[in-house]
């Protein structure tokens, strides 16, 4: 699913759809535990790299980095308490992760390497919308986990 949204939709439109990636990374942490989001981030980054060859190794690095930050923040904030997901903590984890990775991706691709056009207003909009999308993805993942998936997995 991450490949379908992030791989075939051109930037910056794909950056506005980060809610899907944040949802699946949060859900992978809840299902697998520590390392789950890193694993999904690495696989999705590798798949996206095959579709967007011109952005190699950036898509791979930033997808992996996103997964690592989700795992690190979710573990540090204890976003999962036993079988239950703590919604507020998972939302905070996703907001921090999308904010840090979004800023790093913006800086590397727009400022340092000029791979994408450097339009501050568009970049700021993408960053703000990315953090909000991360919060939405985390909230939906926690709700889905607590209401439906926790009992089945």
- Cβ(70)–Cβ(18) below 8 Å: no
Higher pLDDT: 134 or 2? It is: 134
- Cβ(101)–Cβ(95) below 8 Å: no
| pLDDT (tens digit per residue) in 53-104 | 888 899 899 999 999 999 999 999 999 999 999 999 999 999 999 999 988 9
d(CA 14, CA 129): 12
The tokens describing 28, both together, are 């992978």
The tokens describing 30, both together, are 């809840």
d(CA 130, CA 124): 10
Percent of the chain whose pLDDT exceeds 70: 99
Region of poorest pLDDT, from 12-26, 39-53, 54-68: 12-26
Query: What average pLDDT does the structure give for the chain?
Result: 91
pLDDT of amino acid 12 = 66
CA dist 14 → 4, 74, 76, 100, 132 (Å): 10, 24, 29, 17, 15
- Cβ(137)–Cβ(93) below 8 Å: no
pLDDT of amino acid 25 = 97
Phi then psi for residue 138, to 5 deg, are -65, -40
User: Is the confidence at residue 14, as pLDDT, over 80?
Assistant: no
pLDDT of amino acid 41 = 96
**pLDDT band (50, 70, 90) for residue 125:** confident
Three-state DSSP at 80 gives: strand
pTM, full prediction: 0.92
Higher pLDDT: 17 or 34? It is: 34
User: Is the confidence at residue 149, as pLDDT, over 70?
Assistant: yes
CA-based torsion, 2, 42, 131, 108: positive or negative: negative
């Amino acid at each position: 699913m991450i490949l379908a949204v992030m791989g075939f939709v051109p930037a910056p439109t794909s950056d506005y759809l980060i809610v899907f990636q944040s949802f699946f990374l949060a859900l992978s942490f809840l299902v697998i535990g520590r390392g789950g989001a890193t694993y999904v981030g690495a696989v999705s980054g590798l798949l996206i790299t095959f579709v967007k060859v011109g952005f190699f190794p950036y898509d791979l690095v930033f997808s992996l980095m996103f997964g690592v930050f989700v795992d690190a923040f979710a573990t540090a904030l204890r976003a999962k308490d036993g079988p239950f997901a703590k919604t507020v903590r998972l939302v905070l984890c996703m907001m921090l992760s999308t904010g840090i990775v979004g800023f790093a991706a913006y800086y590397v691709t727009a400022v340092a390497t000029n791979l994408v056009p450097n339009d501050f207003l568009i970049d700021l909009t993408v960053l703000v919308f990315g953090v909000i999308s991360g919060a939405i993805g985390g909230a939906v993942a926690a709700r889905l986990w607590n209401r439906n998936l926790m009992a089945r997995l």
